[in-house]
Amino acid sequence: MQHPRTSFLVRLAIAAAAVAGALLLASCSGTPADTHPGQPVTKRKQAFKLMLRSFEPMGLVVRGRKEYDPQKFLDYATDLQQLADKPWQYFTPDSDYPPTRAKAAVWQQPERFRAARQKLADSLSHLTVVAKNGNLDAIRPVFAEVEKSCQSCHREFRGGLL
């Protein structure tokens, strides 16, 4: 049996791969691209995928599946902190269109959505501080907080399987 947190990571990776596959299929079959002004759905999905690229290797390190290199880990944490500012500007008022998986609650409950963003930002500030000390045992619980921030926002604001 898999640890639930591991399976969250794995499912996120699978979801991102599935989206990449679907985009590829769409481009091959000539399905129209995102024609909305500014392409907000496309841009926020890309921004989330970039976040995943820093998030994922840290998850592997924390679980002992990848070697802990303190400097690299700190770089990932710092990158993720910066990348985690990016998606929100693309949740514009008229950007609830397919293939988004954002729930209507994003627009109906902006205060709660903002609070969920803040929770992620706070946990990431904490992570970069603790990552500077280079102690993996101290990092683990803080990384778990980050992961919880992703997961709880997805549960509330993202539809589908995650």
| 86 near ligand HEC, rule: CB under 6 A | no
Q: Does 55 bind ligand HEC (CB under 6 A)?
A: yes
Binding of ligand HEC at residue 58 (CB under 6 A)?
no
Q: Are 24 and 67 in contact (CB under 8 A)?
A: no
Query: Cβ(34)–Cβ(42) under 8 Å?
Result: yes
- Tokens standing for residue 75: 């770089």
Of 71-79, 127-135, 136-144, 149-157, the window that binds ligand HEC (rule: CB under 6 A) is 149-157
Distance CA 47, CA 52 (A): 9
Q: Which residue's CB is nearer to ligand HEC, number 1 or number 55? A: 55
Token pair recorded at residue 39: 């392409």
CB of 86 to ligand HEC, least distance (A): 11
The correct pick among 58, 73, 100, 139 for binding ligand HEC (CB under 6 A) is 100
**Contact between 150 and ligand HEC per CB under 6 A:** yes
* Identified binder of ligand HEC from the candidate list 8, 48, 73, 143, rule CB under 6 A: 48
Question: Whole-angstrom Cα distance, residue 146 to residue 76?
Answer: 13
Q: Is residue 52 a contact point for ligand HEC (CB under 6 A)?
A: yes
- Cα separation, 143 vs 160, whole angstroms: 24
Instruction: Report the residue number, 55 or 76, with the smaller CB distance to ligand HEC.
Output: 55
Per-residue exposure over 28-55, b if at least 16 CB sit within 10 Å of its own CB, e if not: eeeeeebeeeeebbbbbbebbbbbbebb
CA angle 15, 51, 81 (to 5 degrees): 150
Does 41 bind ligand HEC (CB under 6 A)? Our answer is yes
Q: Which residues bind ligand HEC (CB under 6 A)?
A: 12, 15-16, 19, 41, 44-45, 48-49, 51-52, 55, 100-102, 106, 113, 116-117, 120, 146, 149-150, 153-154, 157-158
